[in-house]
Structure 1
Amino acid sequence: MKNVLIIYPLWHPSNLAGVHRPRLIGNFLPEFGWHPIILTVKEAFFEEIPDLDFEKTFKDHFEVHRVNAIPLGKIRIFGDIGIRSFWQLYKGAKKIITENKIDFIWIPVPSYYPALLGRILNSKYKIPYGIDYIDPWVRDMKNYPNSGLRQRLALGIARILEPIAVKKASLISGVAKAYYQGVLDRNDKRAKKVDVAMPYGFDPNDHVLKLDVETPWSNEKDVIPYIYAGTFLPNSAPFFHKFFATIKKFRDMNQWNDHIKLYFIGTGLYPGKTIQELANDFDLSDVVIEKRDRLPFLNILYFLGQAQGVLAIGSPSPHYTASKIFQAILSKRPVFAFFHEKSTVVDILKECNADQFLMTYNDNDSDEDLDIRLERILRSYFLNEVNWNVKLECLEKYSARASAKVLVGGLNKVLGNSNV
């Protein structure tokens, strides 16, 4: 069995979104002849509240090595754990490499800065490496109108460091090709790199784990709960404006069921207005409940299954793909989705017969056309009887197991090209 060293500074009990990438892929790598060795940071240096149940979703074949990091301290200079642990990860990687035969090094980003370790370790040990894009490193900031000096400084640094990190990479991967196409376009095209795209996918075992927890609406009488679970990014705001404006119209026309409550869970902290503030602008403070703190992953899966319906709202970007769409479909609850028509989410929903309440956006759509279509879909979703019959078997090709197989195909191709 070949060994892949996965360098990612977060691991359980952190349940930040990025941790799911190496977890989901790594859960299935041994099926395809690869043993995952994880290099990460000790949990004492994590910022987030630990999710102790999260460990249940990790298979026991992971070989995990943890290193120290620079503590945050009272004055927050560098919060990014990839910066705080960079030197320690480098030393940890050297130790692992000297004690094991490592066939490949795979580094999911963000955090982006550990991507540089691939270049450094390749120079020293000649081990091929790849960078996996969970999110783009260099991004178009026009979608972040309220970004400040810190964000723009980070972008400037990214434009300098990314070419250094990827120059000697043998493989570039990502959750969708659009997430890393710019990397291939910006850098030396003569240096042929293997590239593979595979979604986060899902592990069906996650959905059979049971918890005894209360939902956010457990103490609400006669409530009809709908839930949106996940981060709220600033460039999604136009879709939320449309969404809330339509609900306000229903209320103004006395066509809204006052027992319906919309719960937005784990939306995070980003520049600009919060979802609650956007809802308040439309006089929906009694309809919308936002809880911005991240909640345990298994709790979220449970909440999705207990809700009346699940909301999946994306952004006007055509290459925005939401990994949470799999959890939404697997909840077996009706899904309202709002995405650009070219998003991969649209194809997934259609293939699974889960597009009954799909609202798509096109760059040439007029506001009037969008408003008319959105009103029709939301009226059917919230106010009419729903018949929901999805084909879960169609999701198999999007599973984490399928994604692991795609990645292994890329790894084996690299090793074949290198005559290793």
Structure 2
Amino acid sequence: MHRVRLSLPYYEENGWLPTVVCVDHRYYEMVDDPLMLESIPKHIKIHLVKAFPKKWTSKVGLGSLALRSYFFYKRYVDQLLKKEHFDLIFFSTTEFPLCALGSHWKRKFNIPYIIDMQDPWHTEYYQNKPKAERPPKYWFSYRLNKYLEPIAMAAVSGIISVSDEYIKVLVHRYPEVKKIPVAVITFPAAVKDLEIAEANKKTLATPLLTDNSINLVYVGRGGHDLKQAAMLLFNAFSSRLAERPDLFSSIKFYFIGTSYAPKGTGLSTIKPIADTIGISEYVHEQTDRIPYFETLSYLNNADGLIILGSDDPGYTASKIYPYILSKKPLLAIFNLKSSAATIIRDCNAGSLANISDNNQSEAVVSDFLDSIVQQSNISSQTNWENFSAYSAKSLTQEQCVLFNQAVS
């Protein structure tokens, strides 16, 4: 969603006139954030499709928005393509089952399509994981994705990915991908979002933060694949706390919006790690998601920011740019093969700890915590000239290069 939203102001200057087809917000259960509409040019055509209401489908165990809206997308876009001419279809979503419709529209209307691999679609990552660490309904989704991904990849005309690792997997799995244009393009950064947040700051609350603490904030998904990064963070903090409780007891960690589950039903995956280390009173986890612009408000009002990375080297953090743009002290714990780690390193945007090197990581984390409590000079030293390469304007231009290749 964010890639297209942030790119909409720049497609036309690169020769592409966009039309958006998306699910009407009444049919999904994500946190609604009307401020997002302020970043979308008023003249953009937006078509809304229906979906089967979850209150009905959940009775048979079906909650996936992709599956609930699949029939409606097919019917609506079929009619749209009969009435209007389009040169390209661009799937930019993590509701990947919808991408299988690309082969149908290419066959019926001879329109090429591109898939944006924002995450792995069919993945073997969880196959050797304990059942408790697998996503909900993993048995079904694993088999569905294994069936649908080949259908989509057999006819796809181009692939954009946030990670080179995802493309390597697809090339290995589908040799025909070698013959089509592909590009690694991270999510774009948007200064406009920060401007919108600033203009509405009086209405954006941060109730979890307290005035008498040093508030270190992470907003984003949790998950068992973040355990290694969380352990590194909490072990370093525990050591510092034991050495100097007078200094480090003022630190509080906040992990917000860590579950995709409906409100009030998410399971904590970060706080239990703190419990095992004995630092429960210093760590707060709220599993419920919060609106995007409320996220920006938390980043702007924090004393420091934490980003936990996955042990999966292909993982990239879509949230990385708002963290950098907040110009707050930033600690990122990543697999150094992650594109997010590359961005932080190239832009000198924060302290970067290697998830695969305990000694290096503990030293980096400890130094960061020392600087936070001592209030030493750890203000943003970001190289903004390098950072401009990741702007929405620059990355939209890269997308359009691939669009041109796919239709040529």
Structure 2 length-normalised TM: 0.90
Q: Is the 8 A contact 1:39 1:92 kept in 2?
A: no
Alpha carbons of 1:382 and 1:157: their partners in 2 closer, same or farther (altered >3 Å)?
farther
Q: Which amino acid aligns with 2:126?
A: M
1:275-294 aligned within 5 A: 275-294=270-289
Give the alignment partner of residue 164 of structure 1, picking from 151, 165, 174: 151
2:116 and 2:160 in contact (8 A); partners too: yes
In the other structure, the counterpart of 2:9 is 27
1:318-337 counterparts in 2 under 5 A? 318-337=313-332
Offset of residue 381 of structure 1? 4.4
In structure 2, what is the equivalent of residue 68 of structure 1?
50
Q: 2-side partners of 1:194 and 1:307: how far apart?
A: 41
Q: CA RMSD in A?
A: 2.2
CA shift in 2, pair 1:143/1:247, >3 Å: farther
1:187 is displaced (CA, Å) by 1.1
Q: Per-residue CA shift, 1:7-38, capped at 9, x if unaligned?
A: xxxxxxxxxxxx21221233321121111111
Could you list the structure 1 runs, at least 4 aligned residues long, displaced by more than 4 angstroms after superposition: 269-273, 367-370, 381-384
CA contact (8 A) 1:236 1:313 kept: yes
Superposed displacement of residue 280, structure 1: 2.0
The residue identity in structure 2 corresponding to 1:59 is: P
Equivalent residue in structure 1 for 2:98, among 81, 102, 114: 114
2 CA distance for matches of 1:40 and 1:376?
Answer: 45
Work out whether residues 144 and 235 of structure 1, in 8 Å CA contact, stay in contact via their aligned partners in 2: no
The offset of 1:384, in angstroms, is: 5.4
Match runs of 1:18-417 below 5 Å = 19-73=1-55, 75-139=59-123, 140-142=125-127, 144-145=129-130, 146-147=133-134, 150-189=137-176, 192-209=179-196, 210-211=199-200, 212=202, 213-217=204-208, 220-255=210-245, 256-269=247-260, 274-355=269-350, 357-362=351-356, 365=357, 367=358, 370-383=361-374, 385-388=376-379, 389-416=381-408
**1:170-189 superposed Cα distances (whole Å, 9 cap, x missing partner):** 11111122223212221143
Report the number of matched residues.
Answer: 393
Q: Check the 8 A contact 1:336/1:358 in 2, yes or no.
A: yes
Q: Secondary structure at the match of 1:262?
A: strand
1:232–1:27 Cα change, 3 Å: farther
1:141-198 per-residue CA deviation (whole Å, 9 max, x = no partner) reads 1574322682133112212221111101111111122223212221143871111121
**Displacement, 1:372?**
4.7
Cα shift readout 1:332-387 (whole Å, capped 9, x = no counterpart):
101011111222222222222224x211234xx4x455445543444344445133
Q: Distance in 2 between matches of 1:201 and 1:264?
A: 23
8 Å Cα contact 2:221/2:258 also seen in 1: yes
Instruction: Tell me the secondary structure at the aligned position of residue 167 of structure 1.
Output: helix
CA contact (8 A) 1:54 1:296 kept: no
What percentage of residue pairs aligned between the two structures are identical? Answer: 26
SS in structure 1 of the partner of residue 17 of structure 2: strand
C-alpha separation in 2, matches of 1:66 and 1:147? 33
Q: Separation in 1 of the partners of 2:5 and 2:295?
A: 17
Letter in 2 for 1:398: Y
Unaligned runs of 5+ residues in structure 2 are none
1:243-267 Cα offsets, whole Å, 9 max, x none, are: 1122122222234432221111111
**Letter matched to residue 222 of structure 2:** F
